Amino acid sequence: MIIGGLMIAGGAGAVLRYLVDRLVQERVESDFPYGTLLINVTGSLVLGFLTGSALHHGLAANWVTVFGTGLIGAYTTFSTFTYDTFRLFGSDAPAAAVTNVLVSLVAGLGAAIAGLALGTLI
């Protein structure tokens, strides 16, 4: 049951990541990876919410596994974040690369904290 849920959620998360990234990058005239940034920050928010819901409201571990590991695990992407950062360094945009790292870390942690707080309240 869990494996089937992971497969379905993981497939949905991967497709969602692709669609969100394309939607953002097609609308932004920039080499900066705004799509990857949005994906990772929103994924951190949702995972924080799931964690808060599990810790404070008893959200079942199976739901956290399927949605946290399956959906959000496939939706978010550390490897693309790393690739984008090195790509920026390689295209003589070191300031953009450093900005990508700093904004991703700060916004991702902030979103996870906000999600955790929401998960404890709702």
Q: What pLDDT is recorded for position 8?
A: 98
* CB-based contact 70:10 (threshold 8 Å): yes
* CB-based contact 112:44 (threshold 8 Å): yes
Residue with tokens 């450093």: 98
Q: What is the pLDDT of residues 58-109, one digit of tens each?
A: 999 999 999 999 999 999 999 999 999 999 999 999 999 999 999 999 999 9
* CB-based contact 75:9 (threshold 8 Å): no
Domain count of the fold of the chain: 1
Q: What pLDDT is recorded for position 122?
A: 84
Q: Cα–Cα distances in Å, from 99 out to 16, 45, 53, 79, 120?
A: 25, 20, 32, 17, 31
From 76, 55, 23, 53, select the one nearest 122 (Cα to Cα). 53
Q: What is the pLDDT of residues 21-64, one digit of tens each?
A: 999 999 998 999 999 999 999 999 999 999 999 999 999 999 99
Domain hosting 66: range is: 2-121
3-state secondary structure 95-107: HHHHHHHHHHHHH
Q: What is the model's pTM?
A: 0.94
Angle at 46 between CA 23 and CA 74, to 5 degrees: 60
Q: What pLDDT is recorded for position 1?
A: 87
